[in-house]
Amino acid sequence: MRSGRRFVLFVASVAALGGLLFGYDTGVISGAILFISKDFGLPTRLQAFTISVVLLGCMLGALIAGGVADRIGRRRTLLAAGIVFLVGALVSAFTPDEAMLLAGRFIVGIGIGFSSVVAPLYISEVAPAPSRGALVSLYQFAITVGILAAYFVDYAFAAAGNWRWMLGLALVPSLVLVGGMLVMPESPRYLFKVGNANRARSELDRIYNDPVASANEETSIVESLRTKHAGLEAFAQPSLRLALFIGIALAVLQQITGINTVIYYGPQIFEMAGIASDSASILAQTLVGTVNCVMTLVAIFFVDRVGRKPLLYVGLTGMFVALATMAFAFSQPHLSGTLGTITLLGMMVYVGCFAFSLGPIVWLLISEIFPLRVRGIGMSISTLANWVGNFFVSQFFLTMVERLGQPLTFGIYAALCVVTILFVRSMVPETKRELLEQIRVGPA
């Protein structure tokens, strides 16, 4: 069994590089935009669009990724994502003007959209049920490592204001992802789906290194494929319609509880709280990114032990407390002297709680709740909803702050954490240790 576990861990780690690129390319812009806006003389609205244009690419990538993965396979789709990341990094780093920069960031977004669908999908399909939660959570961990790396790179180049190096260093993990996916195996579930049973059995044997476990998994997969794939028409069935509703709702709630206001606008939030210099605000953002990275390990260690829903309850409660505290602090003029410290601590608690709950577990659940015959398209639609939510949050956060003020803005995000707790309690299934093909979210 041990050799099988090492093999699966290796495969999942390489696939998770898509998450590292996702994190790096979304996190790096928070520091780079401070210097891009000065070099190109960008007004506030164009700054926001420079940040959020990547999300338009993410939407396009997410929309088509599931269909591509069903046609050419999970491995080749991740390989394609790595190539797209590479092209986007080069265009962004060598851009002569703002228009070309927008094009480069849009290309990067397509790569992120591809990886956000296919990396957790691929990992969930190669992972044994007892460790599936931890292995898919590696994807979220890689996102946080990418974000943290972006913050360190931003800080390293902040003194010189060299945003081209900030954006261009994504080239390195892009090359590693492309090279890694060239030698990775295909998902055995995809191989069964396309009729390549002998190769699929071989991959199952490598994953489990146990004939009995491998045979049980094969039986489960083959049984799930007896109902033919029916594309979007399949979601007319009540159980699949419910699964799609849960997937979309979780994906949107992950965003509208405010996480990417921190990822994209952390330095600006710290400046609102009185941390004045660019370098100091980026350093504060780096501390938040460190918490994000470290606390994701909690999910990896506990998600298969205590389950998905308990971690969601604890994490969302902590997020609510942190956001409510920040809303209160911004509403109290007498706290202005300590507002920077309160904001930093609040954001660290908020991000830390997100990191072991809503962050990894949403990606895990949407990779689990759809049957194999519609898994690609179900994840595509859910992930598209995630990026739509991300786009609107990132595009309108500064407008909300201007028109509603910081206290009400953070208060709205806090209230949405309560809404998410109620949704998880009433609608979300517990999928801990269940075989992927045996997970049900409603009546069969």
Predicted confidence (pLDDT) per residue in 328-338, tens digit: 988 887 776 68
* pLDDT at site 414: 96
| Pairwise CA distance, residues 21 & 109, whole Å | 10
Q: Please report the pLDDT score of residue 435 as a whole number.
A: 65
Residue 126 CA, distance from chain mean position = 19
- pLDDT at res. 1: 45
Contact of 343 with 329, CB cutoff 8 Å: yes
User: What single-letter amino acid sits at 289?
Assistant: G
Distance from C-alpha of 342 to C-alpha of 338, rounded to nearest angstrom: 6
Distances (CA, A) of 358 to 19, 311, 411, 424: 16, 8, 18, 10
Q: Name residue, tokens 């039986």.
A: 219
**Residue ranges per domain, the chain?**
2-184+227-438
Given a cut of 70, the residues of the chain with pLDDT beneath it are 1-4, 227-230, 276-278, 336-337, 435-440, 442-444
Q: Are 363 and 255 in contact (CB under 8 A)?
A: no
- Give the separation between CA 181 and CA 11, rounded to whole angstroms: 9
pLDDT of residue 436: 67
Cα atoms found within 13 Å of the Cα of residue 76, Cβ hemisphere only: 9
DSSP state of 209: -
Choosing among 1.20.1250.20, 3.30.70.260, 3.90.245.10, 3.40.50.460, the CATH entry for 2-184+227-438 is 1.20.1250.20
- The pTM of this model reads 0.82
Closest C-alpha among 121, 135, 129, 124 to residue 6: 135
| Residue partners of 33: CB distance under 8 A and separation at least 6 | 47, 50, 51, 163
CA 254, CA 246: separation in Å to the nearest integer? 12
215, two tokens:
């045979």
Give the other-Cβ count within 10 Å of 63's Cβ: 17
Amino acid 309: pLDDT: 95
Task: Please report which helix (H) or strand (E) contains residue 346, including its range.
Answer: helix 339-355
pLDDT at 444: 42
The pLDDT assigned to 443 comes to 46
- Radius of gyration, alpha carbons of the chain: 21
Q: Can you give the pLDDT at residue 49? A: 83
Helices (H), 273-307: 278-306
pLDDT tens figures, 89-104 = 999 999 999 999 999 9
